[in-house]
Amino acid sequence: MLLIASAWIMVLLLGGGVALDRVLTGAITRNFDEQLDYLLNAMIVSAEIGPNGEVLNSRQLADQRFLEPGSGAYWQISGKGFEPYKSMSLWDRRLRVGPRTDSQDLYIYDSDEFVEKTPRADQYADTSGDQMLRIAERDLTLPGSPVLWRFQVAQARDTLDAQITALRRTLVRSFLLLGLGLIVMVGLQTWYGLLPLRKVRSEIARLRAGKSKRIEDRMPAEIAPMVEELNALVEHNDRQAEEARRHAGNLAHALKTPLSVIMNAAAAGQDDLAPTVIREARTMRRQIDHHLARARAVGRRGSAHSRAPVWPSIEAVERAVARLYPNVRIDIDGEKTLIAHIERQDLDEILGNLVENAAKYGGGSVFITAGVDAGFVEIMIEDDGRGIPEADRIRIFDRGVRLDTGKPGTGLGLAIVRDVAEIYDGTVSLEESEDLGGLLVRLRLPAAG
């Protein structure tokens, strides 16, 4: 961030400095040229024709430098057939006269005619007379004279160049100081702006070391949402860890009793040891299957991409249960485009348990309806069986509870359904079917957009 900001500052300052240099240099040069133009006009106004047709000045220009030889300020009036009429400052020199033009426009240019072109043999020779000139000239005719006169005013560029040099030196120093100040400011801003992130890092280190359970320090508004999400993530992980510990304890407790029965039967040398082992092993397997199903659902719950189309899952379960119970009629209806926020495998397991129970304990007819209500996918499974008394509709979800012991089963189906649905923030409730007269199971799962 600091390197990119510094480079960008330098680019902007360089561009701004070049642009400002051009503007100010142009302004100084225009002011210098305006002075030359003023002197040229004053010289033209004071010019008059003498008795022999030569040009004369009715009054001298007020600038004293025009009277001092080599002063750097010169003027000259030239006409064809006449000797140049020039200022005393030119002394034994004269200004170069280029080709004549019919235009009377002002022409300003630089000239090196007073600069020594070839080095002198004497290395100690005086070259102080070398001058770069800025010349303003104009061609025009005067009243009473057919001659085209060229009026020239020249001034050494030393003053102009010194002003430009001083300006550029000031610009360079000012922009370097400005650039350094901006870079220091960006550095301080970057350091101060990233300071909260360093605090977050130290707080995360404290979390990892077990010195705190969440980030408590108040943070700037820019990163406060990130800190809130971090705290939510920590709490979510804590809940998952606690849930895993609780289920590990539940599984250990569930397996402890069957193992004790087996060990006691084996230690006593009971004659029915084999049936006892088989019976208790089945109990342990049911408990293990239940906890594994829940653990799989918990592990998949964190995925934000959990999406399952409802209708294909209903059709797959309907086909599987129809093969197991060919004498049961299963009808399905509802919206075919519903998508629930759940893994397809878990949805199949929930529907498989519910539809199989309806076919097993019903009177031969099962009706499945799918719809949407208040942001939830709602699936209703109805049967024409004897139903479940209202007093037993909550107890039936407990592990191992079976109201009809005359048919095979483990008593874990509805418990698994409830646990997996709650993992995905869904619900399962038991009601009475108004149409078929049996049980109505209402499954609600969050709808996926």
pLDDT of residue 127: 41
CATH topology of domain 2-115+128-172: Beta-Lactamase (3.30.450)
Q: In the chain, where are the structural domains located?
A: 2-115+128-172, 224-301, 308-446
Distance, C-alpha 171 to centroid of its chain:
36
Average pLDDT over residues 229-244: 81
pLDDT of residue 412: 47
Closest CA to 441 of 382, 393, 395: 382
* Amino acid of residue 35: Q
CATH topology of domain 308-446: Heat Shock Protein 90 (3.30.565)
Token pair 């220009």: residue: 61
Residue 441 neighbours by CB distance under 10 Å: 23
- Can you tell me the distance from the alpha carbon of 55 to that of 43, in angstroms, rounded to the nearest whole number? 11
pLDDT of residue 449: 67
Share of the chain above pLDDT 70, in %: 88
- Can you tell me the distance from the alpha carbon of 6 to that of 201, in angstroms, rounded to the nearest whole number? 27
Please, which residues have CB within 8 angstroms of residue 96's CB and are 6 or more apart in sequence? 111, 113
Token pair 């642009």: residue: 19
pLDDT of residue 214: 83
DSSP calls for 203-216: HHHHHHHTS-SS--
- Can you tell me the distance from the alpha carbon of 137 to that of 107, in angstroms, rounded to the nearest whole number? 5
Phi/psi of residue 85, nearest 5 degrees: -95, 115
Report whether 437 contacts 384 (CB < 8 A): yes
Band (pLDDT 50/70/90 cuts) for residue 20 is very high
Structure tokens at 244: 């895993």
Residue 144 DSSP SS3: coil
Summary mean pLDDT of the chain: 83
pLDDT of residue 300: 56
Higher model confidence: residue 294 or residue 335?
335
Band (pLDDT 50/70/90 cuts) for residue 388 is confident
